[in-house]
Structure 1
Amino acid sequence: MILTQCAVCATELGLSLGKKCGRCSTRYCGADCQKQHWEEGGHDKLCRKIKKAGGAEQYNANEKYTEAVGAAAEACAEDTKGQTCYICTQALHWKTKEGLVRGCSCRGTAGFAHVSCLAEQAKILVAEAEENNLDIKVQHERFARWFVCSLCEQQYHGAVCGALSWACWKTYVGRPEADVARMSAMSVLGNGLFSAKHNEDALSVREAELAMKRRLGDSEHNILIVQGNLAITYDALGRLEEALQMKRDVYSGRLRLSGEEHEETLRAANNYASSLLTTDRFGEAKSLLLKTIPVARRVLGENKDLTLRMRLGYAAAIYRDPGATLEDLREAVTTLEETERAARRVLGGAHPTTAGTGEVLQEARAALSAREG
């Protein structure tokens, strides 16, 4: 997580409260904790090292990045045996000695790389866009290389996404708080931690990000994005009613701000439907998705990840409803079979959407079999 707590007692400090070590910027709730950390917590031995690394936030990001790269390489070890990095062409990174990863939709011999190589590639592309003052659309496309594969154009997921998010954060954390790249990197970090299932850490980052954007007077569009991400994190942590209320508000805000055909509105609709499902409001979820899936198909296309996830949610709303008829269950199974085939073809078998659809399909088939029996 980013440093929002006292290094000694873990009191929540947000992004601005408390005091910092004058040399390395390690954060404390007050003088007593700072004194204790120096005398008993080993800070006297680490302080110069942290300062040399660029301060407490940079030092923490560097440490977390190294840890995440190791976890990602370990998670991908079976898939990457005998392969080489498509960027540097080596199996073992020449400098860091890290192993290979692949956390996208590439298949066969494509897409294997070192996190360090992917990070360096993204860093160079973003730097070129900034130095040449390229238009905002190009800059966004370049920055997306921190979380989107340049070969298959699908987002990274799992431990690989988590490692790249720390790479992104450690690259831009030293910039001023209002710097666009730094603010984007905080968003990437929250998403990466969530994808790697570090939900408590993701919550800390997203709460800090929302507070920062409100303090800096960011646009409603950007604040709605953070609120949507925060609501998804509440969901993952079991705070279901909080998640439902926030997702409802985000969807309403998106409709007002962007209209029903905007991708962010469709994403908000799917997130809201997901919470309706989680809280057993099956009829409301089905009604919402019946209205929005045709729009997603028209605007995004049949095989877009978001469209596939909306179809998955619709099928789940059908078969999980206690009042589902036999024909309802058959429709759910047919929808899931079509969605699973499309997801496997477009995203690959390892993608979370494909795996999730397969799991729900098994449940729906079991429910249909039980009813027919």
Structure 2
Amino acid sequence: MLTSDNNNNLAEGAAADGHELPVARDSNDNTNNSNIGSPAEEGVLGKGSGSSAFTKDQPECFVCIEAGADLLRGCACRGTSAGFVHLQCLVEAAQANRATWFRCPTCKQEWTGRLGLGIARARYSLVAEMPEEDEDRLDAAMDLTRALSKSGDFAEALQLGHETLTTLRRVSGEEHEDTLRAMSCLAYVHFEMCDEAEALPLETEILAVKRRMLGNDHPETLAAIANLAATYADLSHHDVALPLLTESLEGERRTRGSDHTASIIAMNNLATLHMHMGNAEEALPLYTESVERNQRLLGSQHPNTLFSIGSLGCLLYFMGDHAEAVPLLEDSIVGLTLVYGEAHPHVVNFQERLDSCVSDMADSPD
């Protein structure tokens, strides 16, 4: 997801919504797939693992400093113990420190996966009975819309997104920054649902306003460029998408550096477009760099890393390198299933590609 540094939005530290176009095993990661989640970089510890089962090397909640069942981790903290927390403990910590609603206080990355959805639901539940024009309620609704969409809960995300945008258009006007953010949330839901025809007019309007009000190099403008480009790419309008994605990547690198999350996602999206256009030689170095940077900055089991690994696996499959593609796709599927579940669109997409790859290898005379 593309992040926005605009602190004038309703959410303090909230992120704008960025699209990742649907499409290597970590050389430093010796973890077998069957052991991912024991404990996981991102996931939940199973019920019944009472405190007596933990050793000093096993995780404990960073808020209450106690071990126990249902510890979650949904950030970029690494190792066997860092970053784990009970959801209720995190909610209590966030009520005392607003920034904790959005990001891990240690690694400073956004919450993801089940923890991200859980904290977003908890935040919204605290303000759901407030008047619909209340800023905290609107902000929490947008945060929850985004989390629901990332988790594949599209029906609920769509309803909440429409309600929030309707309210903000009425109380703040069409071009207010919070209205534009609500439009971006709703466009993100439509994009994830593969309903690009609904996303396109929203994203076109957002970009036109951002260019006029903020200029071409503002982070929010660059995010809007990337989102519109991703939608055009999904609609196979490659001639329109290519210059937009190139502008997005160059702008992110110039203004925020190559290690910023937005730059890496732009890199991955440009690689995906090149793959769809049949330009494998252009896509390969971009995908490879995306994987390397994500692994170094976020760890091998962060959702962004897992998505880039799966994308690289898809490219290698299309290039005919099935032996290299299979372990990458397997790692991505196992990790993303742990985070989002097996029905998530990214998991389904990569599983279909893996099945095709294995079938092709079985049919090969070699």
Which residue is equivalent to 2:231?
Answer: 275
Equivalent residue in structure 2 for 1:115, among 84, 87, 92:
87
Measure how far apart 1:313 and its partner are.
0.8
Q: Aligned equivalents of 2:145 and 2:95: distance in 1?
A: 19
Pairs within 5 Å for 1:99-110: 99-108=70-79, 109-110=81-82
CA contact (8 A) 1:164 1:192 kept: no
Which residue is equivalent to 1:181?
Answer: 136
CA contact (8 A) 1:161 1:195 kept: no
Stretch moving more, 257-266 or 361-370: 361-370
Q: Which one-letter code corresponds to 1:299 in the other structure?
A: T
1:190 maps to 2:135 = no
Which residue is equivalent to 1:207?
Answer: 162
Which residue is equivalent to 1:368?
Answer: 319
TM-score (norm 2): 0.69
Matched position secondary structure for 1:102:
strand
Q: Aligned equivalents of 2:170 and 2:246: distance in 1?
A: 38
Identity %: 26
Q: Which one-letter code corresponds to 1:358 in the other structure?
A: I
CA contact (8 A) 1:161 1:196 kept: no
CA contact (8 A) 1:149 1:155 kept: yes
Q: Aligned equivalents of 2:311 and 2:300: distance in 1?
A: 15
Measure how far apart 1:350 and its partner are.
2.2
Q: Aligned equivalents of 2:292 and 2:136: distance in 1?
A: 38
CA contact (8 A) 1:157 1:196 kept: no
Q: Which one-letter code corresponds to 1:121 in the other structure?
A: A
Measure how far apart 1:172 and its partner are.
2.2
Bigger share in helix: 1
Higher relative contact order (CA 8 A, sep 6+): 2
Q: Which runs of 5+ in 1 are unaligned?
A: 1-73, 93-97, 127-141
TM-score (norm 1): 0.68
Pairs within 5 Å for 1:43-192: 75-77=43-45, 82-92=58-68, 99-108=70-79, 109-126=81-98, 142=99, 145-192=100-147
CA contact (8 A) 2:233 2:241 kept: yes
Stretch moving more, 161-170 or 175-184: 175-184
Q: What is the alpha-carbon root mean square deviation over aligned residues?
A: 2.1
Q: Which one-letter code corresponds to 2:142 in the other structure?
A: S
Q: Aligned equivalents of 1:317 and 1:195: distance in 2?
A: 21
Which residue is equivalent to 1:250?
Answer: 206
The structure with the larger Rg is 1
Q: Aligned equivalents of 1:354 and 1:287: distance in 2?
A: 25
Q: Which one-letter code corresponds to 1:224 in the other structure?
A: L
Q: Aligned equivalents of 2:130 and 2:201: distance in 1?
A: 34
Report how many aligned residue pairs link the two structures: 270
Which residue is equivalent to 2:274?
Answer: 318
Q: Aligned equivalents of 1:313 and 1:111: distance in 2?
A: 29
Measure how far apart 1:168 and its partner are.
0.6
Which residue is equivalent to 1:353?
Answer: 304
Measure how far apart 1:246 and its partner are.
1.9
Q: Aligned equivalents of 1:286 and 1:192: distance in 2?
A: 28
Q: Deviations over 1:11-47 (max 9, x none)?
A: xxxxxxxxxxxxxxxxxxxxxxxxxxxxxxxxxxxxx
Q: Aligned equivalents of 1:355 and 1:190: distance in 2?
A: 22
Stretch moving more, 210-219 or 254-263: 210-219
Equivalent residue in structure 1 for 2:197, among 241, 247, 256:
241
Measure how far apart 1:211 and its partner are.
0.8
Q: Aligned equivalents of 1:259 and 1:213: distance in 2?
A: 24
Q: Aligned equivalents of 2:143 and 2:204: distance in 1?
A: 23
Measure how far apart 1:247 and its partner are.
1.6
Q: Deviations over 1:234-265 (max 9, x none)?
A: 12223221112222221122111211122111
Measure how far apart 1:78 and its partner are.
6.3
Q: Which one-letter code corresponds to 1:76 in the other structure?
A: V
Measure how far apart 1:118 and its partner are.
1.1
CA contact (8 A) 2:172 2:179 kept: no
Which residue is equivalent to 2:280?
Answer: 329
Q: Which one-letter code corresponds to 1:362 in the other structure?
A: G
Measure how far apart 1:75 and its partner are.
4.7
Which residue is equivalent to 2:185?
Answer: 229
Q: Which one-letter code corresponds to 2:91 in the other structure?
A: A
CA contact (8 A) 2:196 2:235 kept: yes
CA contact (8 A) 2:149 2:188 kept: no
Stretch moving more, 238-247 or 76-85: 76-85
CA contact (8 A) 2:46 2:70 kept: no
